[in-house]
Amino acid sequence: MTGAQIAAAVIPRRSSRSAAADRGFRFLMLGAVGAAFVGLAAIVYDFASDGLPVISWDFVTSFPSRVIPESAGIRSAILGTVYLMLICAFLVVPLGVATAVYLEEYADRRRWWNRLIEVNIQNLAAVPSVVYGILGLAFIVRGPLGMGPVLLAGAITLALLVLPVVIIVAREAIRAVPSSIREGSLALGATQWQTVWKQVLPGSIAGIATGVILALSRAIGETAPLLVVGAGVSLRFDPDGLGSSFTALPIQIFAWTQDPNREFVARAAGAIVVLMALLLVMNSIAIWLRNRYEQKW
């Protein structure tokens, strides 16, 4: 029996005033949860009702237009977003996993530099995304790296932005591998790295993959850092390499919402539908991975 059940059995009567207060409070709580539901439903209804009529094969495969809304598509934005995500994943997976392995398996927490790294990652996770944009602008686009506003610069900026998320999730996945697995491996004569590579990482791969996808689904919707880094708007060509000018779905959506012509705003809704569909696919993969490969120890 829980405490509540014991209390209910021992104290059968309660004053009607407190019962009313209890009901009132329940009503408030349900209202709060209901507000979140209604908010989400209204958001989805809004972009779906504006955007679904716009969706067509032509919309997805044509280049954007600044003049004729009916023929404006999101080809360069979709390609830009896909390339950004691929490069971002390529950068963030090794770095994030290596950092997580270091902090969980190697670092001595009594050392100040290891504690510094930990606190630093916690802090980086909460730095506003627009500040990462400034970093990208000052360090990658101009300044020391001086790449200009190209695809690689955007991808590096996004990778730095989501790196803390990947690290934090990967650490949790690694921590979930029981220490008996490590001890067994070490007792059989494996070195520390062999233990990590052959036991710990395979055991935590589902959690890590989930974390990477969740991080990418944050990166895919980021607008502010790409604006600051200097992503192009309404580009009429495909990105053709790391040094190419680029645009992305959120940037194209943003540009269209700024357009005084209402028909372009409907195009923005269409692009939102595509962006949300991509997000839905990524999250479904993450959930599937979690359910399919999650280890039960």
Partner 1 sequence: MAEPRLAAASGAQGARVDLTRAPSARSRFEGGIRIALFLAAGLSVLTTLAIVGSLLVETVRFLGTVSVGDFLFGTKWSPTFAGEQQSFGVLPLLWGTMYLSLIALAVAVPLGLLSAIYLSEYARPGVRRIVKPVLELLAGVPTIVFGYFALTFFTPEVLRDALHIEVGVFNGLAAGIIMGLLVLPTIASVAEDAMTSVPASLREGAFGLGASKLQVSLRVVFPAALSGIVAALILGASRAIGETVLILVAGGQTPNLGLDPRESFQSMAAFIAAQARGDIPVGSVEYLTIFAVGFTLFVLTLVLNFASIRLVNRFRQVYE
Q: Does 9 bind partner 1 (CB under 8 A)?
A: no
Q: Considering only the stretches 57-65, 71-79, 212-220, 236-244, report the one whose residues sit in contact with partner 1 under the rule CB under 8 A.
A: 212-220
Q: Does 173 bind partner 1 (CB under 8 A)?
A: no
Q: Does 82 bind partner 1 (CB under 8 A)?
A: no
Closest CA to 200 of 134, 66, 297: 297
The total number of residues shown for the chain amounts to 297
Binding residue (CB under 8 A) for partner 1 from 69, 133, 203, 270: 133
Those residues whose C-beta lies under 8 Å from the C-beta of residue 139, and which sit 6 or more positions away, are 145
DSSP letters spanning 95-142: HHHHHHHIIIII--TTSHHHHHHHHHHHHHTTS-HHHHHHHIIIIIIS
Neighbours of 155 (CB within 10 A): 27
Q: Does 98 bind partner 1 (CB under 8 A)?
A: yes
Residue 65: CB minimum distance to partner 1, A: 20
Residue 126: CB minimum distance to partner 1, A: 4
Which residues 10-29 are close enough to bind partner 1 by CB under 8 A?
10-11, 14, 18, 21-22, 25-26, 28-29
Report the alpha-carbon distance of residue 77 to residue 232 in Å, rounded: 10
Closest CA to 96 of 176, 173, 150: 173
Which residues 113-132 are close enough to bind partner 1 by CB under 8 A?
116-117, 119-124, 126-132
Which residues 248-277 are close enough to bind partner 1 by CB under 8 A?
250, 253-254, 257-258, 265, 268-269, 272, 275-276
Which residues 48-77 are close enough to bind partner 1 by CB under 8 A?
50
Report the alpha-carbon distance of residue 165 to residue 158 in Å, rounded: 12
Q: Does 107 bind partner 1 (CB under 8 A)?
A: yes
Size of the site for partner 1 (CB under 8 A): 91
Report the alpha-carbon distance of residue 211 to residue 171 in Å, rounded: 10
